[in-house]
Structure 1
Amino acid sequence: MDELGEPVRLLGYADRLSVPAGGRIEFKVSSELPEFTPSLVRLRRGGSPVHECDLLEDDVAAELPASVPGRVQVARAGSYVEAAVREDVTVHGAGLAAWIFPTLLDGEQTVLALTAPDGSAGYRLAVTSDAVVLRDASGTELSRLAVAPVLRQWSFLAATLSPTGEARMELHRPGRTTPMVQESHIHEPAGQESGFPEPREAGAWRGGLLRIGAGGRGAPTGFFNGKLARPIVSAAGWSAEATARLAAGEAAVDVLGATGVSALALGREPAAATVADDGALTTGGTVVNRPASAVPGPFWRCTETDFRRVPGEYDALHLHEDDLDDAGWDTDVALTVPADLPSGAYALKVRTGEHVDRIPFVVTPPAGARPAPVLVVLPTWTYLAYANWRTYAEFEEERVGLYGERRGVDPRDRWLARHPELGKSLYDVHTDGSGVMYSSRARPIVNIRPDYYTPTTRGLRHFAQDLSLLHWLDARGEDYAVITDDEIEDRGADALSGHRVVITGSHPEYSSARMLDAYESFTAHGGRLMYLGGNGFYHVTNRHAGPSGAIEIRRARGSTTAWASAAGEEHLSGTGEPGGLWRWRGRAPQRAFGVGMTAQGFDKASGYRRTAQSRAVDWVFDGVDAAVGEVFGDEGPGLGGAAGDEIDRADVALGTPADAVVLATSVGHSSSIVLVADDRTISYAAPVAPDPRVRADIVVFGRPGGGAVFAVGSIAWSTAMTHKGGDNDVSRITANVLDRFREHPEPVEGA
């Protein structure tokens, strides 16, 4: 790849992010080259020529083909719902209607489409920035209402076509007591004064396909951007009186009956990938590419924000042309992981000449294996939250101001910016400006790579950084295993049971209630936890069932956030629970982990000053030169210190245990390290500068039954551990705590 990011000619993904030893994992690869060579490697350390360290990997013997034929595979973004029309239903004329809340009116966007089995006949109702259009299957315009729905307001749209060719279109816009109507007859020959063409329909047909939010018989086209509710499709037209009743909110089957009518219940089961049909035109629909659900519809009364309490008011989906849940690529390489393969981070390395991609995955211990003394949990839900984050390339110049310098961009990000079909991160917004709520693993993700360059930290972050922790453990000869967030979500506390010490990754930001419960149970039953990161356990997150492994968030107001959920949309569609921050649910990270998110900034990291309290657990500082009051950890790669990027503080008011020992507190942060919005309030008192809450705290505390927690309060910590090949105070402190937690029956008391 050159600096322009040209080209990425070899790219793939796995059907999962983790697999037990002895299990099967499949890889999907798109190659513009005639063939590629697959191999299995164990990832030892992240890096590349542009990082401050080299990538380290070991070849691993595996049963893989010597070469695989290359083929181009394409992801198709855009969400919609489709349903097969029953074959015993005859379509002769049609009725198409829906409530719509357009959020972007660029081009012509399909609201509803009804198509014959062979695509030769059909009807498509669409909207533009200045009109509503009815077309036939060939694209010929049958009728046009020269007025558009109001952007970001609900309107009711209906088009009916009788077997004899009478067409009627209605648009009910807010603030108007009467609808706008267009009536016409489409069977007059071309050249007549009416101006309508000769009919292009091939008469009546049986069966076919219904699509909501997209057109086309094969690959979908003309995606609708916005919320859509109460779609109604009929195999024959209906009266103007019936349209008026539907616009008033009466149920479609009450007005039209069920025979030959589709009334897909879009919001009834927000977590489902299928939609029931209250009518009899179809047997139900399939939701494609996971549009936003659990969003209020046109009859939301604004008295309840929990969709579970008023399901009839949450009868909409928010469709986007750039939604992607599953790229749907075919498998090119299948691997049965050797049953004796040690747990760790691995990758399928695919290569053709200078073109290389490493598709990472974690090998977890097989069922029944002896628990290793040390268990590392890689925060894969955070990796997914940031998956294919596009702002590094899209806002490169703006980031120069944020960083105070030009740090460069990974060339793959420039390429990604030109490929919206690969889906976005939870920090991005859709083309209509609404926030991205879902992120899945079933697609190529260019920034979950061991050699990915992150400008935020001048090199390593997330997966590539967490490999540094594994490399550090390898250098110490530790007996450890690796799992991911998914194993904890699947098995709860059982995923941690039996291990003496559990170590987190550098940024475990996104977590579910089941995960929090598992960690709390682990330490309550004698387990020792080392939280070696920052901004952890922050966002309420849920994982949806299904092969894509999609995670979901809602971004509530009152937090540092890339976007905010719309009114009435702060409950997760998968569970119904309130989204936003765990802090506002009474589960601030301080309660279980001792520290919680307090500030962020990316110009430079700082060091920590050792506190007088630390004398009570002097063993933490064995071999460390820093005495009480002195600073350590103010050197290192990346941002240049151990306390930086995103940092956490201890706070008894937020749940830090009263007996927690604050070992050290960061010092010397610049004005670019800013307090999170969670803590900002209006005050008439003169502000204290610098704000004392802008700090990273290192804490340690015991739990009843011999459990313990050690937390460092900084994402930058594990990067600083690698300074001078691990010969540094940050590394020594970590090693002291690990040894104590692993071996000592009383992990926190003084030596």
Structure 2
Amino acid sequence: MRLVGYADRLSARPGEHVTFHLSSEHPGMRPEIVRLRRPGGPLRHGVPLIEEPVAADLPEVLEGRKQVTTSGSYAMAEVRQNLGAVGLAVWCRPTLPYPRPLLAVGDLVLSVSADGVTLRSGQRAVAELAAPVEEQVWVFVAATIDQTGTVLLSLHRPGRPELSVSCRTEPVRLVRPALLLGGDGRGTGGLGHTFNGKVARPVVSATAWPHTTTGALAAGADPLTLLSADSTSVLDLAVDPGGRRVPDRGGLTAGAEIRHLPGRGVPGPLWTGAETDFRRAPAEFDALHLHEDDLADAGWVPDLIWTIPDGLPSGVYALKVTAGEDVDRVPFVVTPAAHEAPVLVVLPTWTYLAYANWRTYAEYEDERIGIYGERRGVDERDRWLVEHPEFGRSLYDVHTDGSGVFFSSRLRPIVNIRPDYYTPTTRGFRHFAQDLQLLAWLDARGEHYAVVTDDEIEREGGALLGQYRVVITGSHPEYCSAGMLDSYLAYTRACGRLMYLGGNGFYQVTARHPGHPDAIEIRRGHAGVATWVSDPGEENLSATGEPGGLWRLRGRAPNVLAGVGFTAQGHDHASGYRRSGASADATVSWVFDGVSAGVGEVFGDEGPGLRGAAGDELDRADVTLGTPPDAVVLASSEGHSEKIRLVPEETDHGYAEPPPGIHPKVRADIVLFGRPGGGAVFSVGSIAWSTAMTHNGGDNDTARVTANILDRFRDTAGSVFGPATTNGE
């Protein structure tokens, strides 16, 4: 991609600023602000994107420049004094074997590889220990240089004899140097030259301590009982694992800044396994897990700052930049300045971030033929992404060392949050582009609505939701915090009406990272649909301390809020729904006004992409998981293929064989239920629903059902069941 960018935020209200960071191989580029809509269409990009120009008073041309990013996590501190002698020590657990820095003070660098450890000054090796350092094994490394230039380099491998080497070099003269843990300051774009693996208990001293001190440190002694606090750095990596700074228990530095979101709250070398929650034994969870492809902020300089004008309607917009045939659209949401609309759409931006820069479509293109049964093609932006691993991975990826990705930040180019991004999973649009289809449908109906993101729900909660009669979700609100769940539940219990127009929602425990509020964090745990699982002792989120994994395993299955919960997934042809007998009851039959399918008949078995309303990921009702007993199942999908499979937590246990054929749990249920005081919830149980709504220009049964619900939810006072009673407006 010769033209690409990102914004400093995904949403803002009128009067606030959005800052855009751009990289262009062209000498100039033309900027404009556009409002986005995404009509439905056949395979791939059959219908043009709607872009409505917005008066924005932008420069006619922006100067183009190529910007680069260097990824890789590390910690950095400034040493408060000059050093004429040095002591360095650190525990490490490498996860990749190639030579990488462990601990650096100025140009003096202690590094490790599969072949051993090295102390170098600049590019010159000062001392080397040729001894195997295995992956995934903790070792202790130390080096000292006294004022005469005498060097002692030591390696302690548990269960083996200590190894050391002594030599002479030029005395060190370091003038208030930088201290780097896991890095050496190298890197001018691409993957960072940083350590891959865990580091713990770093010690830096302005003195060359005796060899006996090295042995005591390796045995776990407190450095400050052996060394002067004023001339020693003991960075306490166990403190505030959700923060971005690390205090120094000594006086040599004022503490370190953590760069680019390494794993924190993870076990260190002295972990006993007696506790798995870092809050209960913080001293044992004192490691950083560093990766060369960690990224918190791409770090590009700004190219344009735009103030959202007063009066601009709430909706989805983009900075569109054009240079020759190259175009990029950097999206953002304008949230409402005042809460005047009756309807609120919540875009699931935390799910967008969870999938941000998911590159497996291009990395495993051939393997996906086995999943799809066909070759579905790949968006060319994914191929570009594979060539640029420095832009960070999604929460579905693993790092270069094979460990799972905990964090996803919005401060980077994210090529799959684009209105024209093609998703092979659905043969068309998914996530952001699909949710634009819902907005286009609302516009076509002339609905008065506002748009916010998960960030606003997390920040403002029930105070925001309570301003609206109807709240509509996007197609895949999978990632959410406890506060978000609380807010939605309280809203429906206080007369609010929720339309959950998606699947696999409210599923994964997620938190905003307090030290980097532009990033979200998860821990997969050991359940659910996962491309990686948590290592032992790493199940708790560093942001909050709470256990990660599925909300279902915390007693908060999605069924409690939405009446349905994730049950099956697969990306074969989608299906339709068969109306239930209960749908004929006079209290709910209005849902199907104008629908051609009668009771017992199928509707929604057509549409673009997967060609049906029940597909991609499916949710079903289950009272044992929290579906309210009075919830009405209006319809259930059927006719799914064997490629649509139960998610792991739904797999039958015990000795009995599963029933023959398609498992009865493989289905999407449409449910409707009320809450005391007039609140209500409508759920469709399928990600594919809103795409199917666009079939035949929106003239279809899936859209009619949605419209009937929206009209009743918006306009009816009191209970939505039975004859309508208007709000009197």
Shift of residue 90, structure 1, vs aligned partner: 2.8
Between the aligned partners of 1:595 and 1:218, the Cα distance in structure 2 is 49
Shift of residue 750, structure 1, vs aligned partner: 2.7
Instruction: Tell whether 2:576 aligns with 1:611.
Output: no
TM-score by length of 2: 0.97
Correspondence for 1:428: 397
Correspondence for 1:471: 440
Q: Which has the higher mean CA deviation after the structures are superposed, 424-433 or 738-747?
A: 738-747
Between the aligned partners of 1:642 and 1:393, the Cα distance in structure 2 is 27
- Superposition pairs for residues 380-395 of structure 1, below 5 Å? 380-395=349-364
Between the aligned partners of 1:47 and 1:609, the Cα distance in structure 2 is 24
Correspondence for 2:705: 733
The equivalent position to 1:635 in structure 2, one of 584, 588, 606, is 606
Shift of residue 217, structure 1, vs aligned partner: 6.9
The equivalent position to 2:77 in structure 1, one of 83, 107, 112, is 83
SS in 2 for 1:635: coil
Instruction: Tell whether 2:620 aligns with 1:644.
Output: no
The equivalent position to 1:41 in structure 2, one of 31, 34, 38, is 34
Correspondence for 2:722: 750
Q: Deviations over 1:33-53 (max 9, x none)?
A: 111111000001167994232
Shift of residue 545, structure 1, vs aligned partner: 3.0
Correspondence for 2:209: 238
Counting matched residue pairs gives 717
Instruction: Tell whether 2:525 aligns with 1:532.
Output: no
Q: Deviations over 1:466-523 (max 9, x none)?
A: 0000000000000000000000111111121120100000000000011001101111
Between the aligned partners of 1:701 and 1:607, the Cα distance in structure 2 is 22
Q: Deviations over 1:124-180 (max 9, x none)?
A: 10011111111002x10111100132210111111111222222121111222x312
Correspondence for 1:27: 20
Between the aligned partners of 1:226 and 1:371, the Cα distance in structure 2 is 52
- Superposition pairs for residues 402-551 of structure 1, below 5 Å? 402-545=371-514, 549-551=518-520
Q: Which has the higher mean CA deviation after the structures are superposed, 578-587 or 208-217?
A: 208-217
Correspondence for 2:54: 60
Between the aligned partners of 1:686 and 1:491, the Cα distance in structure 2 is 48
Correspondence for 1:191: none
Between the aligned partners of 2:186 and 2:510, the Cα distance in structure 1 is 36
Q: Which has the higher mean CA deviation after the structures are superposed, 326-335 or 219-228?
A: 219-228
Q: Which amino acid aligns with 1:705?
A: G
SS in 2 for 1:90: coil
Correspondence for 2:553: 584
Instruction: Tell whether 2:104 aligns with 1:104.
Output: no
Between the aligned partners of 1:47 and 1:136, the Cα distance in structure 2 is 61
Shift of residue 699, structure 1, vs aligned partner: 0.1
Contact map agreement 2:577 2:636 (CA 8 A) in 1? yes
Contact map agreement 2:333 2:451 (CA 8 A) in 1? yes
Flag the 1:46–1:214 CA change in 2: closer, same or farther, 3 A. farther
Q: Which amino acid aligns with 1:749?
A: F
Between the aligned partners of 2:654 and 2:510, the Cα distance in structure 1 is 32
SS in 2 for 1:396: coil
SS in 2 for 1:732: helix
The equivalent position to 1:114 in structure 2, one of 100, 105, 113, is 105
Between the aligned partners of 1:691 and 1:174, the Cα distance in structure 2 is 51
Correspondence for 1:359: 330
Between the aligned partners of 1:571 and 1:105, the Cα distance in structure 2 is 28
The equivalent position to 1:661 in structure 2, one of 609, 632, 639, is 632
Correspondence for 1:214: 183
Contact map agreement 2:577 2:614 (CA 8 A) in 1? yes
Instruction: Tell whether 2:115 aligns with 1:130.
Output: yes
Q: Which has the higher mean CA deviation after the structures are superposed, 38-47 or 27-36?
A: 38-47
Instruction: Tell whether 2:234 aligns with 1:282.
Output: no
Correspondence for 2:163: 180
Correspondence for 2:726: none
Between the aligned partners of 1:634 and 1:256, the Cα distance in structure 2 is 74
Between the aligned partners of 2:61 and 2:159, the Cα distance in structure 1 is 65
Between the aligned partners of 2:82 and 2:699, the Cα distance in structure 1 is 78
Between the aligned partners of 2:45 and 2:582, the Cα distance in structure 1 is 37
Between the aligned partners of 1:554 and 1:370, the Cα distance in structure 2 is 35
Between the aligned partners of 1:601 and 1:455, the Cα distance in structure 2 is 12
Contact map agreement 2:67 2:300 (CA 8 A) in 1? yes
Contact map agreement 1:740 1:747 (CA 8 A) in 2? no
The equivalent position to 2:138 in structure 1, one of 154, 170, 183, is 154
- Superposition pairs for residues 656-695 of structure 1, below 5 Å? 656-689=627-660, 690-695=662-667
Q: Which runs of 5+ in 1 are unaligned?
A: 1-7, 116-121, 187-198
Q: Deviations over 1:351-407 (max 9, x none)?
A: 1121110000000011xx133100000000000000000000000000111001110
Q: Which amino acid aligns with 2:546?
A: E
Between the aligned partners of 2:347 and 2:634, the Cα distance in structure 1 is 25
Correspondence for 1:143: 127
Correspondence for 2:727: none
Shift of residue 746, structure 1, vs aligned partner: 3.8
Instruction: Tell whether 2:682 aligns with 1:710.
Output: yes
Shift of residue 547, structure 1, vs aligned partner: 5.9
Shift of residue 419, structure 1, vs aligned partner: 0.3
Q: Which amino acid aligns with 2:58?
A: L
Pairwise CA RMSD: 1.4
Q: Which amino acid aligns with 1:612?
A: G
Q: Which amino acid aligns with 1:127?
A: V
Between the aligned partners of 2:89 and 2:516, the Cα distance in structure 1 is 33
Correspondence for 1:724: 696
Q: Which runs of 5+ in 2 are unaligned?
A: 724-729
Between the aligned partners of 2:333 and 2:508, the Cα distance in structure 1 is 24
TM-score by length of 1: 0.94
Q: Deviations over 1:227-257 (max 9, x none)?
A: 1000111122111110111011011111212
Shift of residue 181, structure 1, vs aligned partner: 1.7
Shift of residue 650, structure 1, vs aligned partner: 0.3
Between the aligned partners of 1:538 and 1:456, the Cα distance in structure 2 is 20
Correspondence for 1:317: 288
Contact map agreement 2:244 2:516 (CA 8 A) in 1? no
- Superposition pairs for residues 596-607 of structure 1, below 5 Å? 596-607=565-576
Correspondence for 1:336: 307
Q: Which amino acid aligns with 1:718?
A: S
Contact map agreement 2:40 2:694 (CA 8 A) in 1? no
Between the aligned partners of 1:656 and 1:340, the Cα distance in structure 2 is 41
Q: Deviations over 1:555-587 (max 9, x none)?
A: 011221010011010100010011000000100
Contact map agreement 2:70 2:187 (CA 8 A) in 1? no
Between the aligned partners of 2:186 and 2:557, the Cα distance in structure 1 is 50
Contact map agreement 1:51 1:459 (CA 8 A) in 2? yes
Between the aligned partners of 2:534 and 2:164, the Cα distance in structure 1 is 35
Q: Which amino acid aligns with 1:726?
A: G
Flag the 1:96–1:242 CA change in 2: closer, same or farther, 3 A. same
Contact map agreement 1:47 1:464 (CA 8 A) in 2? no
The equivalent position to 1:699 in structure 2, one of 645, 648, 671, is 671
